[in-house]
Structure 1
Amino acid sequence: MKKLLLLFSTMFCLVSGFAQETKPEEKSAASSSEAQANNPLANMTALSFQNYYMPKLSDAPDDAYMNTFWVRFAKPVAKGKLLLRASMPISTIGMPNQFGVVNTTSGLGDMNAFLSYNFVSNETTTMGIGPSITAPTASDDALGTGKWQGGFAFVAFVAKSPVFQFGGLITWQASFAGESDRKDTNLAAIQPFYFWQLGKGTYLRGAPIWVLNLKDDSYSVPFALGIGKVVKMGDTVFNLYVEPQYSVYVKGVQPVFQVLAGVNLQFMK
């Protein structure tokens, strides 16, 4: 827990230094559709679809794989001061049996939601913090924890430059109820994200998730570099991307290599 608090405090201090007032010309450029397309706290209703394909897992047989498809919905309330985001995973786990035949388990995972209070919200910098909860909605024991989990989420997005935007998401949650015969959970995650605009809606990106299981001391620290394209059609901003990720530090059954692909939709009205 001390490590988590240190990481949280460090990130909070670093990002807070960028929450100063900017020049009018900077605001105009940084608030463009391209700069705000990846802002998880944007004051717009958003719907996103993400798919993580994990063909290589550590501490698992060679043919083992995982695939997780995420559906996320975000809705600002109270004139953008609050943002509610709900996420539902649909997962597949493939594991070879003693004869080398890969058996798969597919279905719903555990649903997560968090409510962010945006205590900094202007055209170039957004910062929010709030409670997070995960419900044991998995359709199979292998796809979920069987536990109710609660914690917090802190997120920041800085877009002072029309060329380079960055931020991060820190989450922590632990189990507090659920099936008594299932293991308790204590999970932390840090997701740095960075975006380099190349022009005409095309950009380079990275949004790896560094996972730390504080209960069994397993972890995964991937790095990522991908490409995306932002297209505005009417009042909707479409953001399509693909992003390979490779874990440089890994312990336990975690992805060594994975590919993230997705599309985000922001509705401006």
Structure 2
Amino acid sequence: MQQASRTIIATALLGSSLVSGHALAQGDTGSSAQANNPLANMTAFNLQNYYIGDLTESDESANQFWFRYAAPFSLGKSNWLMRASLPVNSYPTSPSGDTRTGIGDLNVFTSYLFDTGNPAVSFGFGPQITAPTATRDEVGSEKWSAGLVNVLFNAESPRFQYGYLLSWQQSFAGEDDREDVELAAFQPFAFYQLGGGTYLRSAPIWAYNLENDNYSVPLGVGAGQVFHQGKTVYNLFVEPQFSVADEGAGQPDWQIFFGLNMQFQ
């Protein structure tokens, strides 16, 4: 199961660039329509989880739980967004199904927010870094990695919002006896508002490991609910995802992505 463990670690590193689910407090569209903008100009804290019900070539299950914090900041006249993500990884490490659980590798990215001339269209680009903070060897890469993140979010329509997140990173330091890291991911996402804060969603991650040519291409459809309480906007969602193409052991055959995103006005 060591190969499966390495695959899940790779997926976890890529997962740190997932859509956060913040709301954008500008433009003419409401917060429900904007509740999944990854470049929101607001402080947010997210609790998100991937329950992986079946890993390819193993018939074992795994789990990834994410703590995510995001906050905007300014450098001179430029606007940026910082986001930090810390996973708790749990997955089998032997054919008998023995499970290892521990804190994984910390990922931080900063994204420069371009002035698109349209408050409903967000575009960001910036660097990311992953630090080997895992509490167990089996739940982290033991490598320092760095790369780039690019995000587009279009909310011109109050009914339908869409965009993508593109991520790449490569290891540059760390334990010599561990495999190098070079990972790429493309995440298309779409959200359809049903009214009353309820929406349909699809936000799978298509991941590619450039070190061993393994990949995972899931598709998913889920639902979410946005509601306000005081100065906090809550976004609850669940999205089952199923693999339509994959290569290599330890890829998610099916998984359930769910979470609670909170933004603070």
TM-score, normalised relative to structure 2: 0.86
Give the conservation status (yes or no) of the 8 Å contact 2:82–2:111. Answer: yes
Q: Which residue of 2 aligns with 1:265?
A: 262
Moved more, 194-203 or 118-127: 118-127
One-letter identity of the residue aligned with 2:185: A
Q: Which has the higher contact order (CA 8 A, sep 6+)?
A: 2
Q: Which residue of 2 aligns with 1:240?
A: 236
Give the conservation status (yes or no) of the 8 Å contact 1:187–1:213. Answer: yes
Structure 2, unpaired ranges of 5+? 1-26
1:191 to 187, 194, 201: 187
Matching of residues 114-133 of structure 1 within 5 Å = 114-120=109-115, 122-133=118-129
One-letter identity of the residue aligned with 1:241: F
Give the conservation status (yes or no) of the 8 Å contact 2:133–2:140. Answer: yes
Give the conservation status (yes or no) of the 8 Å contact 1:120–1:128. Answer: no
Moved more, 144-153 or 70-79: 70-79
CA distance in 1, matches of 2:161, 2:78: 20
One-letter identity of the residue aligned with 2:262: L
CA distance in 2, matches of 1:94, 1:143: 10
Matched, 1:142 2:138: yes
Q: Which residue of 2 aligns with 1:109?
A: 104
Structure 1, unpaired ranges of 5+? 1-26
Q: Which residue of 2 aligns with 1:159?
A: 155
**Percent of residue pairs identical:** 52
Determine which structure has more spread, i.e. the larger CA radius of gyration.
Answer: 1
Q: Which residue of 2 aligns with 1:48?
A: 46
One-letter identity of the residue aligned with 2:46: S
Higher helix share: 1
Q: Which residue of 2 aligns with 1:57?
A: 55
CA distance in 1, matches of 2:262, 2:202: 18
Q: Give the 4+ runs in structure 1 shifted more than 6 A.
A: none
1:180 to 176, 180, 183: 176
TM-score, normalised relative to structure 1: 0.85
CA distance in 2, matches of 1:57, 1:152: 28
Report the alpha carbon displacement of residue 202 of structure 1 after superposing the two structures with TM: 0.3
Aligned length: 235
One-letter identity of the residue aligned with 2:31: S
Matched, 1:85 2:80: no
